Amino acid sequence: MSRPVVVDSVAALRAQIRDWRRDGLRVAMVPTMGALHDGHISLVRIALERADRCVVSIFVNPTQFAPTEDLDKYPRQLAHDLDRLGMARADLAFTPTVGEMYPAGFATRISVGGPSAGLESDFRPTFFDGVATVVAKLFLQATPDCAIFGEKDYQQLCVVRQLCRDLDLPVEIIGAPTIRDAHGLAMSSRNAYLGEAELKIARQFNVILRKTATDLAAGADQGDATGRTSRALIAAGFREVDYVEARESLTLAPWRHDRDGRLLAAAWLGKTRLIDNVDVPSA
């Protein structure tokens, strides 16, 4: 097993991609914040199915964290990440510093409307501006043909698609299914914060959401169903529920029973905030 080529400057990234382009190769990108798990590795595998070369960025992006959030505590394990990328046969890891991505005097932010409204934005108002800005920079730096994002962060996926449509960024955005553990818990870097007792509670998250999605598809009133879901999460041991909402799958507009939907939720387990989502079939 060999690790991928590692570059930490935009100039080196562009030089490598320029060489690949000269050879007529198709390039895919997987943007990450590191602390790689099986969900990330599944994105790399899809990238290599869709392209000749795969670039994985590893950058804990400070602009998507509010001052009260876990930027300093966010797990960082670069050596382990590079080993995992080597086993997955990723070609290049882009590991810029904060100074490389946001040099002195940096003063530009991108704000995406539409699918960013509500849900995460109600609780993390600066989050999607930070995501849109760093993703736009990565796409301009790497010029990938396609980029792979997991459906676990479903609202983020919709925001990135809107970003590319609105700014005419020539990148195909591919959504990849959420990877779950044997108990149905969505893979997340923040799962590392959970103790064994908390993991048992967290594994009820998806079970409760799927029951609600089934009820909604069968015609249950949305307000009643989501209210029951919040109460069920608290009863299971979650400390607080930020939201449980059904939205249209493509636009994240309010859901109607004749449209395919997504049930999205965020809840606190101790000091850890978890998100998840499941399909809601149309009637």
Is 29 within any annotated ligand binding site?
A: no
Is 189 within any annotated ligand binding site?
A: yes
Torsion sign, CA atoms 229, 232, 236, 237: positive
Is 151 within any annotated ligand binding site?
A: yes
CA–chain centroid gap for 35, Å, is 13
d(CA 41, CA 67): 30
Is 188 within any annotated ligand binding site?
A: yes
Report the interhelical angle of 154-167 vs 127-142 (nearest 10°): 60
Query: Annotated catalytic residue: which of 40, 80, 183, 257?
Result: 40
Is 101 within any annotated ligand binding site?
A: no
Is 152 within any annotated ligand binding site?
A: yes
Is 153 within any annotated ligand binding site?
A: yes
CA distance from start to end of the chain? 49
Is 187 within any annotated ligand binding site?
A: yes
d(CA 178, CA 276): 9
Is 87 within any annotated ligand binding site?
A: no
Is 37 within any annotated ligand binding site?
A: yes
Note every long-range contact of 48-51, with CB atoms under 8 Å and residues 24 or more positions apart, other chains counting: 48/88, 48/89, 48/90, 50/26, 50/146, 50/148, 50/174, 51/25, 51/26, 51/27, 51/144, 51/145, 51/146
d(CA 279, CA 17): 37
Tokens of 236: 């299971």
Active site residue 257: no
Is 35 within any annotated ligand binding site?
A: yes
Residues within the annotated binding site for beta-alanine? Answer: 64
Residues within the annotated binding site for (R)-pantoate? Answer: 64, 156
Residues within the annotated binding site? Answer: 33-40, 64, 150-153, 156, 179, 187-190
Catalytic residues: 40
Residues within the annotated binding site for ATP? Answer: 33-40, 150-153, 179, 187-190
